[in-house]
Amino acid sequence: MLTLKQTTVINNGGAILNVLSYDIGKFDLLCVYLNDVWGSPFAAIMLFPLISMNIGFLPTLSVYFVFVLIAILQTVFSRMAAKYRLESVRWADKRIRAINECLIGCETIKMYCWEKPFERLIYKLRYNECQYIGRANGLRAINFSLYFLSLPLATLTAFGSYYLWEKQRPPLTTPLIFTTMVQLVILRSILVNLLSMSIESISELLPASKRIDEFINLTVISESEMSKEKKSNVFNDGSIQFENASFTWNDISNQLIDINLHIEPGTFVGILGAIGAGKSSLLSAVLGEMRIVNGRRNRSQKKIAYVSEKPWLFTGTIRENILFGQILDHEKYRKVLEATCLIDDLNEFQAGDLTVIAENGTNLSGGQRARVNLARTLYGSDEADFVLLDDPLSAVDGQVARKIVDQCLLNYLKSKTRLLVTHRIHFLSHTDYCLLLENGRIKKINSFNELMLNEPEVRKIYEQQVLSDMKKKDVDENTDDNNFEISQLVDNKSIVQEEQSAIGQIQSKLWIILFTNAYGWIGFTIFLLLMILGQISFDCTNLWISLRTVPSQFGKQHMQFLFISLILTLTTVILSLVRAIVYTQLLISTSFKLHNQMFKSVLYTSLRFYESNPIGRILNRFSKDQQIIDELFPGIFFECLQGFLGAAGGLVILGIANVWVLLIVILTTPLFFYLYRYYLRTALQIKRLESITRSPVHALFSSTLNGLPTIRSSKSEKYVVEQFLTCLDRYARPSFEFETVSLWLALRIDLIINLFLILTMILGNNSSIIC
Residues 543-557 have pLDDT tens digits of 776 665 544 344 455
Asked if residue 280 lies in contact with residue 210, where contact means CB atoms within 8 angstroms, the answer is no
Please give the residue that has the higher pLDDT: either 229 or 139: 139
Note the pLDDT of residue 483: 40
Q: Which amino acid is at 454?
A: N
What's residue 138's pLDDT? 85
Q: Which of 370, 372, 363, 358 is nearest to 615 (CA)?
A: 358
Q: Which of 270, 248, 275 is nearest to 259 (CA)?
A: 248
Q: Which residue has the higher pLDDT, 32 or 392?
A: 392
Question: 45: which residues sit within 8 A by CB, 6+ positions away?
Answer: none
Type and span of the H or E element at 438:
strand 433-438
pLDDT of residue 388: 92
Q: Which domains does the chain have, with CATH numbers?
A: 6-219+513-657 (1.20.1560.10), 228-302+419-475 (3.40.50.300)
Does the pLDDT value for residue 222 go beyond 60? no
pLDDT at 90 over 70: yes
What integer is the mean pLDDT of 283-305?
83
pTM for the model stands at 0.68
The predicted structure's pLDDT at residue 141: 81
Q: What is the pLDDT of residue 558?
A: 62
pLDDT tens digits for range 406-422: 999 999 998 889 999 98
Report the run of H or E that residue 356 belongs to, with start and end. Answer: strand 356-357
Q: Are 140 and 635 in contact (CB under 8 A)?
A: yes
pLDDT tens profile 167-208: 666 666 667 777 887 888 888 888 888 877 787 777 777 777
Question: 259: part of which helix (H) or strand (E)?
Answer: strand 254-263
Which has more confidence, 472 or 346?
Answer: 346
Q: What percent of the chain has pLDDT over 70?
A: 85
pLDDT over 70 (residue 471): no
Instruction: pLDDT band for 770, please (50, 70, 90 cuts).
Output: very low
| Predicted pLDDT of residue 167 | 60
Residue type, 271: I
Of 427, 355, 422, residue with least CA distance to 395 = 422
DSSP-derived secondary structure letter, 416: S
Compute the radius of gyration of the chain from its Cα atoms.
35
Residue 241 has pLDDT above 70, yes or no: yes
Q: What is the pLDDT, as a whole number, of residue 232?
A: 45
Instruction: Please tell me the predicted confidence (pLDDT) of residue 336.
Output: 93
User: Does residue 303 register a pLDDT over 50?
Assistant: yes
Q: Residues 753, 757, 762, 765: what is their CA dihedral angle, to the nearest 10 degrees?
A: 160
- Return the higher-pLDDT residue of 632 and 14: 632
Distance between CA atoms of residues 739 and 677, nearest Å? 17
Which is higher by pLDDT, 652 or 11?
Answer: 652
Instruction: Indicate the average pLDDT of the chain.
Output: 80
Confidence of residue 503 (pLDDT cuts 50, 70, 90): low
Q: How far apart are the first and last CA of the chain?
A: 59
Distance of alpha carbon 400 from alpha carbon 755, whole angstroms: 79
Window from 298-307, 402-411, 483-492, 718-727 with minimum mean pLDDT: 483-492
Dist. CA 368–CA 337, nearest whole Å? 12
Q: What pLDDT does 127 receive?
A: 92
pLDDT at 482: 41
Q: Taking 50 as the threshold, does the pLDDT of residue 226 lie above it?
A: no
Average pLDDT over residues 558-584: 80
What pLDDT does 274 receive?
A: 85
Give the single-character DSSP code of 4.
B
In sequence order, what are the beta bridge partners of 438? 441
pLDDT digits (tens, 9 = 90+) for 657-702: 667 777 788 888 888 888 888 888 888 888 888 878 887 887 788 7
Q: Which residue has the higher pLDDT, 25 or 385?
A: 385
pLDDT digits (tens, 9 = 90+) for 8-56: 776 666 677 677 767 777 777 777 777 777 888 888 888 898 888 888 8
Query: Would you say the C-alpha torsion 576, 580, 581, 583 has a positive or negative sign?
Result: positive
Percent of the chain with pLDDT over 90: 11
CA angle 659, 660, 666 (to 5 degrees): 105
Whole-number pLDDT of residue 79? 83
Q: State yes or no: pLDDT of 484 exceeds 60.
A: no
Position 717 pLDDT exceeds 80 = yes
